[in-house]
């Protein structure tokens, strides 16, 4: 088995002043070669090559790095001598990079994102075992065809459904409503379910020739929202807006009027929710047919933004985009 590790930074490569300091440290310091020295047992699992793609805190992840990663991963997975890819990443935006790649990687071969909650210098750092498990997963036949996976803390999650649920604890990556895909314990991945939505080899999205994405902004719903930020985003060039509404993607009459007005100017409006569980149903709380809005299904606002960015490369038709939100 040949596994390539692409390193982008994060806490897994972080350094703190003291071994018991697990929140004030600098992310993205330790190079991947050095990180691998701490994971000796990997030798028995796969032949590893690695490349440092970036060295950032994942709050500084950006679309240019996404495009670079997508091309890199697609190029590697086209090679017959590469069996899978592991990407080390900060945990703050790991779920976004993972879902983006889930939509644009064109291969059935495993792609696994991994990070850590404790810096590399901490007592009981979770990085080395997480990295080891990610390589085990990427080298396993069970991970093929499951889309881009997220593996931390012995749990395997689908990139579509996973989210960071706790700011500081190691047990943070979960798919609270749809559940883990499986566990990875003692070198053995055990899958209990598989993603049903289109991804990777079955995805229609292709970013091979994309230079930049249409601007899509997220707005957070709250009581007495007067729509000023929505208008400002569009003045700033937004072609799409994701509204993290209340409840079932709901909003006040005042906000609905603002978004209707922006929709008639050609801006695509997706209704997601600030609630962490549940589905935003079409024509549920709000009449999407009449407003020409799109319902985000179970995608979180940050994942809805990614799907909308990719969708807008192909169409501005809200009904076609709605279909994508039901398929991906």
Ligand X SMILES: NC(=O)C[C@H](N)C(=O)O
Q: Does 92 bind ligand X (CB under 6 A)?
A: yes
Stretch that binds ligand X, among 84-92, 103-111, 205-213, 315-323 (CB under 6 A): 84-92
| Near ligand X by CB under 6 A: residue from 16, 74, 91, 322 | 91
Gap between the Cα atoms of 145 and 21, Å rounded: 39
CB atoms within 10 A of CB 226: 11
Binding residues for ligand X, rule CB under 6 A, total 10
Q: What are phi and psi of 267, to 5 degrees?
A: -80, 135
**Nearer CB in complex with ligand X: 115/195:** 115
Q: What is the DSSP string of 285-319?
A: SS-HHHHT-EE-BT--HHHHHHHHHHHHTT---HH
What does the block give as tokens for 179?
């559940």
Residue 92: CB minimum distance to ligand X, A: 3
What's the distance, CA 147 to chain centroid? 12
Asked if 127 is part of the footprint of ligand X (rule: CB under 6 A), the reply reads no
Query: For residue 113, what is the DSSP state?
Result: E
The answer to whether the annotation marks 50 as part of a ligand binding site is no
Two structure tokens written together for 290? 């009449």
Q: Give the binding range for ligand X (CB under 6 A) out of 70-78, 90-98, 198-206, 260-268.
A: 90-98
Q: Tokens for 70, please give them.
A: 């997508």
- Closest residue to bound ligand X by CB: 90
Stretch that binds ligand X, among 39-47, 67-75, 88-96, 146-154 (CB under 6 A): 88-96
Contact predicate 251/279, CB 8 Å: no
Closer CB to ligand X, 11 or 157, in the complex: 11
Residue 90 is a binding residue for ligand X (CB under 6 A): yes
Q: Per-residue string for binding with ligand X, 44-63, x by CB under 6 A?
A: -------------xx-----
- Which segments are annotated as binding site for substrate? 58, 91-92
């Amino acid at each position: 088995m040949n596994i390539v590790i692409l390193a982008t930074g994060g806490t897994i490569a972080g350094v703190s002043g003291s071994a018991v300091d697990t929140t004030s440290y600098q992310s993205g310091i330790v190079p991947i070669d050095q990180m691998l020295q701490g994971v000796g047992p990997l030798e028995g699992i796969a032949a590893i090559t690695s490349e440092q793609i970036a060295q950032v805190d994942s709050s500084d992840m950006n679309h240019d790095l996404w495009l670079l990663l997508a091309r890199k991963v697609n190029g590697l997975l086209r090679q017959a001598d590469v069996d899978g890819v592991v990407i080390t990443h900060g945990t703050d935006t790991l779920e976004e990079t993972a879902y983006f790649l889930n939509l644009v990687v064109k291969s059935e071969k495993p792609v696994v994102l991994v990070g850590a909650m404790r810096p590399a210098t901490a007592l009981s750092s979770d990085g080395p075992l997480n990295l080891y498990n990610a390589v085990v997963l990427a080298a396993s036949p069970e991970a093929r065809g499951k889309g881009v996976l997220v593996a931390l803390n012995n749990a395997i999650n689908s990139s579509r459904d996973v989210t960071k649920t706790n700011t500081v604890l190691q047990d943070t990556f979960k798919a609270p409503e749809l559940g883990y895909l499986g566990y990875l314990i003692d070198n053995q991945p055990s899958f209990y379910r598989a993603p049903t939505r289109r991804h990777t080899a079955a995805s229609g999205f292709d970013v091979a020739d994309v230079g930049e994405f249409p601007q899509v902004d997220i707005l957070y719903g709250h009581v007495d929202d007067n729509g000023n930020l929505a208008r400002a985003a569009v003045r700033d060039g937004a072609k799409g807006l994701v509204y993290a509404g209340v409840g079932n993607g709901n909003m006040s009459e005042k906000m609905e009027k603002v978004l209707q007005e922006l929709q008639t100017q050609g801006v695509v409006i997706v209704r997601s929710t600030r609630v962490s569980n549940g589905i935003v149903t079409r024509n549920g709380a709000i009449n999407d047919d009449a407003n020409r809005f799109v319902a985000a299904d179970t995608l979180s606002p940050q994942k809805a933004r990614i799907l909308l960015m990719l969708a807008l490369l192909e169409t501005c038709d809200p009904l076609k985009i709605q279909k994508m939100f039901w398929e991906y």
